[in-house]
Each structure stands twice: as structure tokens, then as C-alpha cells.
């Protein structure tokens, strides 16, 4: 990352990893259940220097605070509040959102809720949607619902390679970087993952909702990236998503399960094309920082030749 900013949300500190901090355009990239914002390093580099990439670490992950109240804070409703606080901190009235797995669901819920829909200018879902395979979900819940401990760093890396094979990562260097960003040393010298082991409690405490109704309510441009071998997002559900939202842009990532790492041009360039498509009713650059009323007025005066 090129910069790190810390955002306070109640008693929690939210770490936001930033690439290209001076870029003219901004996109929010939100990670999956047990990952962190550092996963978007290659995505940001391939996307290029014209895009400022903001990648928060969700509470309980990475560099962000662990919650003292998991039953309250490790929920989608709270993650949405954290997301709004991050947008407010960076003065983003409206922004494109790229979300992997859980991060995509957070963006989908923000785009569906009347109070926050205007904040999401367009939405990219990475291997997630309004319906996920129940067996795949059960597997996730069982894996992340228990602590993991490794006596050697190499054992942790080997387990990452086994469990995250669906990322489609290529090369030893990439796997080693993933391991370095995923490891946390315990007091006895053994190793575990970076996240709070209680994040899996959201599977117990979160309130079910009609996510197909949420999907149908979204009015911003939509794109889905689908791992060809995904155990979570099935091809038939991608087709149903497109039937409900006929403007949906879809990209299948060969050789990937859940979820594509978004670390190579074949995955990132189509997303860049989608992000750069003009949207009716928006001025170029309008998905950027919020400006005060007098700044907006000044731009309007200049546009009509009175400035």
C-alpha cells in the first residue's frame, strides 16, 4: 500500500489501506470474510495510477480493532455503518464499489437500502450474489468458526495454499506474500491467522433477510465476477441475477473457485472498463470527494461562463 489512514467508529479503529492516494478517481475495494484490504495490492497496481483504491480492513481483521462485543459488531448491519463512516471520512458522496464475497454483500446491501443507495455509484460483486450454495456456506462457517494454530510459519503457508486454492493464485512469491499478510504470532511462539476467531459468530447472530428483494431494488450499474469453479456462487444463480437485473455485466474467471483474487489483467481490465463507463446523470469525476455548497456553486458558475 502507499498510505494508511485510521478511521474511528465508536470504540473501533478502522484501518484503510490506500493505493495511489493522489489519483483523481476513487474506488472502494472491500475484502471477504476472513481476509483484509491488503488483498487488493495487485488489483490496485493493475487498475493503474488514475484510481485511488481505498481498501478497509473490516473490524476483527487485519489492522482494524477487534470488537469487545462480537454479537453486536460482527454483523452486516454494523459493517454497513462502518462503510458509511469510511465514506464520510473520505468525503465521498458517491463511489464505485468492488467487493469480494462478504465485501460484495456489504456493497449490495448499501446499494439496496434507500438511505444509502445513492452512495454506491456502481457495484462489482466478486463471486457473490443474493443466493449462495448452502453447502459452501456451511463449509465456510465451520472452517472460520474455530481457531487455527500452527507450530511453524511454513505450516500456516501450506494451509493457506490448501484452503485458498480457489483464489487462483499463481507462483510461490504470490503465495508467500499472502502468507506474510495473513499470519499472526501467538504468545507461545506458534502462528495463527490475522483475524479475530470470533468473526465466524456472524453466522449465528446475523438476521436473515430477503437478499433477492435487495438485489431487485438496486438501481446502479452492476457487474459480477464469477469463479468458474466456485462452490458458493453457482452458474444458475448468476443467470437468475441477470434475469432480475438485465443490465448485469458478468465475467467468468477460469481456473478460479471462491473467490478470484483480482490480481491479473484478465480479471482487472474488464472491471476497469466497467468502472469507466459513463453513467447518465453524472458529471465526470462526480464519484469523488464531497464538496461544500459553495464549491459546487462555483463549478456551476464556471460551467455557464460566469466564473
Number of H helices, E strands in the chain: 12, 10
Q: At what angle do helices 102-112 and 76-89 cross, to 10 degrees?
A: 80
Q: What ranges do the domains of the chain cover?
A: 3-130+198-303
Residue 18: predicted pLDDT: 98
Rg of the chain in Å (alpha carbons): 19
Residue 280: predicted pLDDT: 54
**Virtual torsion, Cα 267, 270, 272, 274, nearest 10 deg:** -140
pLDDT in tens, 45-54: 999 999 999 9
Q: Are 139 and 240 in contact (CB under 8 A)?
A: no
Element (H, E) at 7: strand 3-9
Is 3-130+198-303 a CATH 3.40.190.10 domain? no
Q: Return the residue matching grid coordinates 456493497.
A: 107
Q: Return the residue matching grid coordinates 493505493.
A: 19
Q: How many CB atoms lie within 10 A of CB 274?
A: 19
Is pLDDT above 60 for 296? no
- Cα–Cα distance for residue pair 64/147, rounded to 1 Å: 19
pLDDT in tens, 57-95: 999 999 999 999 999 999 999 999 999 999 999 999 999
Q: Are 227 and 127 in contact (CB under 8 A)?
A: yes
Is the model more confident about 119 or about 278? 119
88-97, 144-153, 188-197: segment of lowest average pLDDT: 144-153
**Virtual torsion, Cα 184, 21, 101, 245, nearest 10 deg:** 180
* 82 class by beta-carbon count within 10 Å (0-12 exposed, 13-18 middle, 19+ buried): buried
Is pLDDT above 80 for 116? yes
Amino acid at each position: 500500500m502507499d498510505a494508511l489512514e485510521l478511521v474511528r467508529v465508536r470504540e473501533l479503529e478502522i484501518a484503510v489501506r490506500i493505493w495511489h492516494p493522489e489519483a483523481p478517481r476513487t474506488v472502494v475495494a472491500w475484502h471477504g470474510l476472513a481476509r483484509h484490504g491488503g488483498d487488493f495490492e495487485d488489483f490496485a497496481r493493475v487498475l493503474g495510477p488514475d484510481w485511488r483504491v481505498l481498501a478497509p480492513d473490516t473490524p476483527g481483521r487485519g489492522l482494524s480493532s477487534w470488537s469487545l462485543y462480537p454479537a453486536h459488531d460482527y454483523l452486516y448491519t454494523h459493517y454497513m455503518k462502518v462503510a458509511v463512516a469510511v465514506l464520510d471520512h473520505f468525503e465521498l458522496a458517491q463511489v464505485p464499489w468492488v467487493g469480494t464475497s462478504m465485501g460484495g454483500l456489504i456493497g449490495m446491501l448499501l446499494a439496496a437500502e434507500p438511505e444509502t443507495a445513492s452512495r454506491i455509484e456502481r457495484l462489482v460483486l466478486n463471486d457473490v450474489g443474493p443466493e449462495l450454495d448452502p453447502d459452501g456456506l456451511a463449509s465456510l462457517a465451520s472452517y472460520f468458526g474455530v481457531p487455527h494454530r500452527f507450530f511453524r510459519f511454513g505450516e500456516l503457508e501450506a494451509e493457506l495454499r490448501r484452503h485458498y486454492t480457489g483464489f487462483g493464485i499463481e507462483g510461490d512469491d504470490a503465495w508467500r506474500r499472502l502468507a506474510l499478510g495473513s499470519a499472526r504470532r501467538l504468545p507461545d511462539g506458534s502462528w495463527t491467522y490475522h483475524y479475530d476467531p470470533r468473526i465466524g459468530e456472524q453466522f449465528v447472530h446475523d438476521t436473515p433477510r430477503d437478499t433477492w428483494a435487495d438485489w431487485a431494488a438496486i438501481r446502479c450499474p452492476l457487474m459480477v465476477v464469477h469463479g468458474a469453479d466456485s462452490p458458493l456462487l453457482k452458474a444458475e444463480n448468476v443467470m437468475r441475477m441477470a434475469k432480475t437485473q438485465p443490465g448485469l455485466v458478468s465475467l467468468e474467471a477460469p481456473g478460479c473457485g471462491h473467490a478470484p483474487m483480482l490480481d491479473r489483467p484478465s480479471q482487472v481490465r474488464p472491471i476497469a472498463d466497467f468502472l469507466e463507463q459513463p453513467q447518465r446523470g453524472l458529471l465526470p469525476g462526480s464519484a469523488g470527494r464531497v464538496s461544500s455548497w459553495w464549491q459546487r456553486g462555483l463549478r456551476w458558475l464556471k460551467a455557464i461562463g460566469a466564473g
